[in-house]
Amino acid sequence: MTDSVGGPIIAAQGLELVFQTGDGPVHALKDVNLNIAKGEFVSFIGPSGCGKTTFLRVVAGLETATGGTVSVNGMTPDQARQARAYGYVFQAAGLYPWRTIGGNIRLPLEIMGFSKSDQETRVKRTLDLVELSGFEKKYPWQLSGGMQQRASIARALAFDADILLMDEPFGALDEIVRDRLNEELLRLWARTEKTILFVTHSIPEAVYLSSRIVVMSPRPGRITDVIESPLPRDRPLDIRDSAEFIAIAHRVRQGLRAGHLDE
């Protein structure tokens, strides 16, 4: 779909995932085809059960597809996971309460065996990146929910993976904090040039952040629309009042509604 010099960094072809449950098989993903190029910001939006989180987990190697293929950096998701190709941000910050903010960011670095001095510079740098400098010695309970989530993003960035997988990272935060973090995330994306896959429930969030929006629908989980965003990369918050923005949001909403009418 998107052409780039090095080919897609994430490529899914005919991806299927069927969960066997007590109530019979559940088709979480059906025939998902998607290529994501390096440096893209792709949002996945859709109602609960549409498979957006499941797709992210398949890319992360946390779930295994039951059909089709998916490659990450040219490897299988499991190999990519073992090569530590991505950072994953969950809906809850999930910081360890017994570690300081710095200690939490150091966690993946310790596990991956970075040297002590390297750990220190990386902690400092990523804290700076998420605008939390000065909070290194604080414990998670001393931070607000928004700051905790920023720390968890720093934790995912610390080991410099090219891909950032974000599963509704701001879903539990209030609107005002969410707006600020959205702005910060865009700045961060511009500075780090990471490839970001971002799952969300929020139409404005998806449209504001993304270079591409993937609309999904449930039962079975599938892609119903893929929208290229014509918005410039540099986006102030008030771009959300522009006609272009409203037009894209409208198309997303239509895609979501169409998915529902299918049922």
Partner 1 sequence: MKSAFLPVVTVVLAIIAFWYVAALPMNIHETLTAAENAGISVNGGDAKTRAAASGIVLALENAGLAAGGWSLDRPRLPAPHQVAAEFYETTIQEEVFGRRGFVQSGEFSKKSLIYHGGITLSATLLGFVIGTALGILLAVGIVHSRTMDMSVMPWAIVSQTIPIIAIAPMIIVVMYAAGIQGIIPKAVISAYLSFFPVVVGMVKGLRSPDQMQLDLLQTYNASKSQGFWKLRLPSSVPYLFASLKIGISASLVGAIVGELPTGAVAGLGARMLAGSYYGQTAQIWAALFAAAILAASLVGLISLIERRTLRRMGVQP
Please tell me whether residue 86 binds partner 1 under the rule CB under 8 A: yes
Cα–Cα distance between 169 and 91 in angstroms, integer?
4
Contact pick of 94, 134, 230, 236 for partner 1 (by CB under 8 A): 94
Among 84, 233, 257, 260, binds partner 1 (CB under 8 A): 84
Q: Cα separations (Å) of 201 from 26, 45, 53, 57, 172?
A: 21, 6, 11, 17, 11
Minimum gap (Å) between residue 6 Cβ and partner 1: 24
Q: Is 12 exposed, middle or buried (0-12, 13-18, 19+ CB in 10 A)?
A: buried
- The interface region with partner 1, picked from 7-15, 83-91, 201-209, 214-222 by CB under 8 A, is 83-91
User: In the bound complex, what is the minimum distance in angstroms from residue 258's beta carbon to partner 1?
Assistant: 32
Do residues 235 and 64 make contact, with C-beta atoms less than 8 angstroms apart?
no
Cβ count near 234 (within 10 Å): 9
Does 147 participate in binding partner 1 (rule CB under 8 A)?
A: no
Task: Classify residue 21 by burial, with Cβ atoms within 10 Å: 0-12, 13-18, 19+.
Answer: exposed
| Residues 106-135: x where in contact with partner 1 by CB under 8 A, - otherwise, as a string | -xx-xxx-----------------------
Q: Which is nearer to partner 1, 86 or 170 (CB)?
A: 86
145 binds partner 1 (CB under 8 A): no
Phi-psi region of 215 (alpha: psi -120 to 50; beta: other; left: phi over 0): beta
Q: Name the residues that contact partner 1, by CB under 8 A.
A: 60-62, 81-82, 84, 86-88, 90, 92, 94, 96-100, 107-108, 110-112, 139, 141
